[in-house]
Structure 1
Amino acid sequence: MGEVVKDEYQTDYVAGQDNINILGLDLHNWVFPVSALIVVAFVIGTLMFPGQAKELLDGMKWDIIARFDWFFLISANIFVVVCLALIFLPVGKIRLGGQDATPEFSTLSWFAMLFAAGMGIGLMFWAVAEPTAYYTGWYKTPFNVEPNTPAAADLAMGATMYHWGLHPWAIYAIVALSLAFFAFNKNMPLTIRSAFFPLLRDWVWGWPGHIIDVLAVVATIFGLATSLGFGAQQAASGLDYLFGVGAGINVQMAIIVAVTSVALLSVLRGLDGGVKVLSNINMGMAALLLLFIIFAGPTMSILETLWVTSSSYVANILPLSNPFGREDEAWFQGWTVFYWAWWISWSPFVGMFIARVSRGRTVREFITAVLLIPTVITAVWMSSFGGTALEQIQDGIGALASDGLTDVSLAMFQMFANLPLTGIISFVGIILVLVFFVTSSDSGSLVIDSITAGGKTDAPTAQRVFWAVMEGAIAAALIFGGGADALGAIQATAISAGLPFTAILLVMTWGLLKGLSHERRLLIARGEL
Structure 2
Amino acid sequence: MSEQTADQTGDATEDIPTDYEVGQDNIQVFGLDFHNPVFIVSGLTIILFVALSLIFQQGAESFFTWLRPFLTSNLDWLFLIAGNAFVLFSLFLIVSPFGKIRLGGPDARPEYNYAGWFAMLFAAGMGIGLMFYGVSEPLTHYNASVAADAGQAGSDAPLMGAPGDPEAARRLAMAATIFHWGLHPWAIYAVVALALALFSYNKGLPLTIRSAFYPIFGEAVWGWLGHVIDTLAVFATLFGLATSLGFGAEQALAGLNHIFGIPDTDPWKVGLIVAITGCALTSVVAGLDAGVKRLSEINMILAFLLLVFVVAVGPTLAIVSGFFENIVAYARDIIPLSNPIGRNDDSFRNGWTTFYWAWWISWSPFVGMFIARVSYGRTVREFMICVLIIPTIVSIFWMTAFGGTAISQLMNGYEGAVSAELPVKLFLMLEHLPLASITSFIGIVLVIVFFVTSSDSGSLVIDTITAGGKVDAPVAQRVFWATFEGLVAIALLLGGGLKALQSAAVATGFPFALILLLMIWCIYQGLKGEQRALVEAQEAEATA
TM-score strictly above 0.5: yes
Q: Which residue of 1 aligns with 2:181?
A: 164
Matches of 1:421 and 1:525, distance apart in 2: 63
Q: Which residue of 2 aligns with 1:463?
A: 477
Aligned residues: 519
Distance 1:171 1:374 in 2: 13
Structure 1 residues 216-262: Cα deviation after superposition (integer angstroms, max 9, x where no partner): 00000000000000000000000000000111111111110110000
Is the counterpart of residue 213 in structure 1 residue 244 in structure 2?
no
Instruction: State whether residues 132 and 405 of structure 1, in contact with CA within 8 Å, keep that contact through their aligned partners in structure 2.
Output: no
Alpha-carbon offset, residue 146 of structure 1: 4.2
The answer for the alignment partner of 1:107 in structure 2 is 114
Aligned-partner SS, 1:95: coil
Contact 1:220 1:348 in 2 (8 A): yes
SS in 1 for 2:33: strand
Shift of 1:397: 2.3
User: Which letter maps to 2:84?
Assistant: N
Aligned to 1:454: 468
Q: In the superposition, relative to structure 1, how do residues 302 and 202 fare at CA in structure 2: closer, same or farther (>3 Å)? A: same
After TM superposition, where is structure 1 displaced by more than 3 Å over at least 4 residues in a row?
5-8
Q: Do residues 324 (structure 1) and 341 (structure 2) align?
A: yes
| C-alpha distance in structure 1 between counterparts of 2:322 and 2:157, whole Å | 19
Cα distance in 1 for residues equivalent to 2:15 and 2:378: 23
Take 2:219 and 2:34, find their aligned partners in 1: how far apart are those partners? 21
The whole-number CA distance in structure 1 between the counterparts of 2:267 and 2:405 is: 32
Name which of 512, 529, 535 aligns with 1:518.
529
Kindly report which structure 2 residues correspond to 1:501-516, keeping only aligned pairs within 5 A, or say none: 501-516=512-527
Contact 1:95 1:363 in 2 (8 A): yes
> Out of 409, 426, 437, which is 1:412 matched to?
426
Mapping 1:331-342, distance limit 5 Å: 331-342=348-359
Equivalent runs, 1:12-161 vs 2, <5 Å: 12-137=19-144, 140-146=156-162, 149-161=166-178
Q: Does 1:191 align with 2:208?
A: yes
Shift of 1:8: 6.2
Distance 2:108 2:159 in 1: 48
Q: Is the 8 A contact 2:23 2:35 kept in 1?
A: yes
Offset of 1:337 from its aligned partner? Answer: 0.1
RMSD: 1.4
Q: Which amino acid is the alignment partner of residue 487 of structure 1?
A: L
Residue 425 of structure 1: CA displacement?
0.4
Q: Evaluate the alpha carbon distance shift between residue 258 and residue 186 of structure 1 in structure 2; reply closer, same or farther with a 3 A threshold.
A: same
Deviations 1:55-79 (A, max 9, x none): 2223232222222110000000000
Query: In structure 2, how many angstroms separate the alpha carbons of the residues matched to 1:407 and 1:57?
Result: 20
* 1:385 correspondence with 2:402: yes
Is 1:491 paired with 2:507? no
Distance 1:406 1:15 in 2: 51
Task: Report the Cα distance in structure 1 between the residues aligned to 2:102 and 2:446, rounded to whole angstroms.
Answer: 34
Which residue in the other structure is 2:7 paired with? none
Moved more, 210-219 or 148-157: 148-157
SS in 2 for 1:21: strand
- Determine if contact 1:87/1:368 at 8 Å carries over to the other structure: yes
1:179 corresponding residue in structure 2: 196
1:431-459 CA-to-partner distances (Å, cap 9, x unmatched) read 00000000000000000000000000000
Contact 2:16–2:204 (CA under 8 A) maintained in structure 1? no
Q: Distance in 1 between matches of 2:13 and 2:142?
A: 58
**Amino acid of the structure 2 residue aligned with 1:488:** K
TM-score by length of 1: 0.96
Whole-Å Cα distance in 1 between the matches of residues 15 and 373 of structure 2? 24
Identity %: 55
The residue number in structure 2 matching 1:427 is 441
Match of 2:366 in 1: 349
Greater mean deviation of Cα atoms: 9-18 or 236-245:
9-18
Q: Distance in 2 between matches of 1:42 and 1:6?
A: 43
CA distance in 2, matches of 1:112, 1:526: 36
1:223–1:345 Cα contact (<8 Å) kept: yes
Residues 284 and 456, structure 2, Cα contact 8 Å, conserved in 1? yes
Runs of 5+ consecutive residues of structure 2 not aligned to the other structure: 1-11, 148-154
Q: Deviations over 1:341-372 (max 9, x none)?
A: 00000000000000000000000000000000
Q: Distance in 1 between matches of 2:421 and 2:38?
A: 40
Please state how far the C-alpha of 1:150 moved relative to its aligned partner: 2.0
1:24-45 per-position Cα deviation (integer Å, ceiling 9, x unaligned): 1001010000000111111111
